[in-house]
Amino acid sequence: MAGGIKKIVVEQGAERFPSTGAILLSVGDVPVSRARGQMQDMVQGTNTDMGKDTLHLLSYAGEFLKPCPGTRNYICCGYLILNVGTNCPLDCSYCILQAYFNLPNLRVHVNLEQEIDRVFEAIDREPEKIFRVGTGEFTDSLALDPVTGWSGIIVERFSMRKNTVLELKTKTANTRALLESTCRDRIIVSWSLNSPFICATEEHGAAALKKRLEAARECRAAGFTLGFHFDPMIPHRDWKDGYRRTVDLLDRYIEPGGIIWISMGSFRFMPALKPIIRRRHRDTCVLDGEFIKGLDGKMRYFKPIRIELYSFLRELLSQWHPDMGLYLCMESHEVWLESMSWSPETTEGLCGYLDQRVRKFFDLCG
């Protein structure tokens, strides 16, 4: 990834953090500019490249541990986000980050190492509660890891906590730092998967599907627990055959007993994202489906389409292994019942289901 960085912006105050010096050293001879405050002259609504070649180093003043924003009226998994940075060097056509943030560039919070103690203070105040924490909501967990060293900062400390799991979610094969680490306890390495067609045509800059699964196999062999996320599922020509091929590849590369969970979700988006996708990805197929505005204001496939997607993939995965920890991301009770033949009914119910998966795989509290 360092080779893809063409510019670096260092905000005022970021220079004093050791991470800044380490990052500047890792990227080598790249032009560096200074900024007195947050740059707001380039916004994603007018800049088509979104600054994906620009590393932006800043001291983040907000909370580092936040609940997943979720969406109202749908069942949420209760995930917590460790906000290590925002925006992603990959360029998936469907990515909600294209419309979610109004500030460009690959923004790295260089004060993470200094602020992480506050995160653990909050976690340690509730020793009987299970915390499921991830870094893959606002950026890819590992795409920038060779430059930022995020895994080196957080993996060991999370691994020491008895009431916490850390999930690193990626579409890359950047696992070298993880494999060189001695920490495995309570660390989940997850990959976003899709049909081979969607991976090849819509997930620009991501590792090829087989490369992701080879990396997952290597992590499992090294002792890591795995997760997978089929999200967003996208109906396209011969989509059933495509998702069947992906499950066949899973069977070829992965031993299913090492998988803590697999999520499924379908493409949904804020209406503001549509013109951005049209402008930035003119050959995309992701907007070809039939959409309706959901209860949360997001555009979603019609309910029968979503149910067909989930039912089909659930059947394939259940045939592969009967205990995969399957769950739906941001779906209604009705869709759960129709596609999964059961429902957690509420967000609290889904949190309990996933917490039980955590207890099954790790020595945690409760």
> What pLDDT is stored for residue 111 in this prediction?
98
Q: Mean pLDDT over all residues of the chain?
A: 94
State pLDDT tens for residues 300-326: 999 999 999 999 999 999 999 999 999
SS3 state at 134: strand
> What pLDDT is stored for residue 100 in this prediction?
82
The CA–CA distances, whole Å, from 233 to 28, 259, 268, 309 equal 39, 20, 10, 7
- pTM reported for the whole predicted model: 0.95
CB 226 within 8 A of CB 259: yes
State pLDDT tens for residues 118-172: 999 999 999 999 999 999 999 999 999 999 999 999 999 999 999 999 999 999 9
Closest Cα to residue 83, out of 98, 99, 103, 69? 69
Determine the Cα–Cα distance for residues 130 and 238; give it in Å rounded to an integer.
41
Q: List Cβ<8 Å contacts ≥24 apart for 342-345.
A: 343/75, 344/75, 345/75
Burial (Cβ within 10 Å: 0-12, 13-18, ≥19) of residue 35: middle
Give 3-state DSSP helix, strand, coil % of the chain, rounded to 5. 40, 20, 40
pLDDT tops 80 at residue 3: no
pLDDT tops 60 at residue 48: no
- Token pair belonging to 156: 């060991």
pLDDT tops 80 at residue 363: no
What structural domains does the chain harbor?
A: 60-103+111-361 (3.80.30.30)
Per-residue pLDDT band for 38 (boundaries 50, 70, 90) equals low
**What's the average model confidence in pLDDT over 38-65?**
75
pLDDT tops 50 at residue 44: no
> What pLDDT is stored for residue 4 in this prediction?
86
SS3 state at 202: helix
